[in-house]
Amino acid sequence: MRVTIDESRCQGHGRCYSIAPGLFESDDLGNGVVLGDGIVASDQERHAHLAVANCPEGAVRIEGA
């Protein structure tokens, strides 16, 4: 499983990096950035799903679930 952020949709609500600091961080403007290659360890899967479910712009996605 891998997380991505669609930059064209992200508006910096900051929900992803608050909910899943192990998967996302903020850039200097407050927009979400995927940490590393975005591969989700099994103990982070719940956080990945919550990040998707809480992004108001629908910018966080999961690939290869």
Q: How far apart are CA 50 and CA 28, in angstroms?
A: 23
State the nearest-atom distance from the C-beta of 55 to ligand SF4, in Å: 3
State the nearest-atom distance from the C-beta of 6 to another protein, in Å: 14
Both tokens assigned to 63: 């690939």
Binding-site member from 7, 18, 39, 63 for another protein (CB under 8 A): 18
* Interface positions with another protein (CB under 8 A): 11-15, 17-18, 26, 28-30, 50, 53-58
